[in-house]
Amino acid sequence: MCGGAGWGTAGLRGRLAFRRPGIYPVPCRNSGADPGVFPDVTNPDSADSRGHVPGGGSDDPGDPSGAGGSDAPEGSGNTGGSRGSRGSGGSGGAHGSRRRRRRPRLRLRLRHLALLAVFAMVAGCAPFLWVLSSTADHRHTAETVPERPVALVLGAGVRPDGRPSLLLARRLDTAAGLYSAGKVDAVLVSGDNSVEHYNETDTMIDYLVAAGIDRERIVGDYAGFSTWDSCARANEVFGVEAATVVTQDFHLPRAVRLCRAAGIDAVGVADSSLRERTFATVYGWFREVPAAVAALGTVVLRPDPMFLGDYETGVDDALAPERE
């Protein structure tokens, strides 16, 4: 039976690579025919039946071999080139197909990342918007704020020379103005004194005394390590039930929200520091976005302040003359 087994699959493909369309050579292993000659079984009268190879290098009947430049033996450069060209083309097509399959997956992943980013932004901004909206009716100007017995001034930075930072000084000026206008009867200053060489509370007391407020009307809280600590201690340690919170405008919504969560009937007056401290104020607004997330957790969990301590009568003593 005739077939390509005697030549090997690669050899047969190499010989077929240069045949004309429609020609089907059938080499025979034991026929005794010259392996280089492939008869054209579709056209018995063709030159192929006389021993010439179609597409060969010569059609001269005197060429006994009938072999041309293109009918190289198996393993020759032409055959290898033919196989190599097909192999490289197939490999390139496979790589291109894989790249095309990867692109939709990449786009899908990018869409998922974009959705996650949008969700994170919404989730991060929602508590901030809640803080703003829930305190809108409790934030006032110095002229329109209702009267409260106590002004609660929240601490800020102190310079190495012991003077208050610009932001803290502006808070204290606002509190002094409220006291002079009769809007409050006493001032509770809450600051950080966790280390010996850093004392926000005494700095604030000295500043208010220099501003003309009687010393007996000023009460110091030395454990106001955070906004929540200041609010919680004002209620639980000093017995404050109603107060006007004084701080910067970017900080005021969260401060009022936390003080009201601590049990204080709190309203707030803000100092606008945008013109004097533009960078610090803009940074403060951005900082309030993640801080509002933490505030939401604090309102829900209501943890104890870092240092609670015993009840102190400082605010009661400061308000006693007015009650008489």
Complete DSSP assignment for 177-220: HHHHTTS-SEEEEE-B-SBTTB-HHHHHHHHHHHTT--GGGEEE
Report pLDDT for 100. Answer: 60
Q: What is the per-residue pLDDT across 144-194, written as a single tens digit (0 to 9) for each? A: 999 999 999 999 989 989 899 999 999 999 999 999 999 999 999 999 988
Q: Which domain holds residue 263?
A: 136-323
Residues 52 and 187 in one domain: no
Write out residues in the chain with pLDDT < 70, as ranges.
1-102, 322-324
Shortest CA distance to 217 belongs to which of 146, 324, 323, 314? Answer: 314
Residue with tokens 């509370």: 201
Q: What is the per-residue pLDDT across 76-103, written as a single tens digit (0 to 9) for each? A: 444 444 444 444 455 555 555 666 666 7
Report pLDDT for 196. Answer: 78
- Distance of alpha carbon 174 from alpha carbon 169, whole angstroms: 9
Last residue of a domain, one of 75, 106, 122: 75
Q: What is the per-residue pLDDT across 128-148, written as a single tens digit (0 to 9) for each? A: 999 999 999 999 999 999 999
Cβ atoms of 74 and 60 closer than 8 Å: no
In a domain, 116, yes or no: no
By CB atoms closer than 10 A (0-12, 13-18, 19+), residue 79 is buried
Residues 175 and 37 in one domain: no
Cβ atoms of 248 and 324 closer than 8 Å: no
How many structural domains is the chain composed of?
A: 2
Report pLDDT for 82. Answer: 44
The amino acid sitting at 9 is T
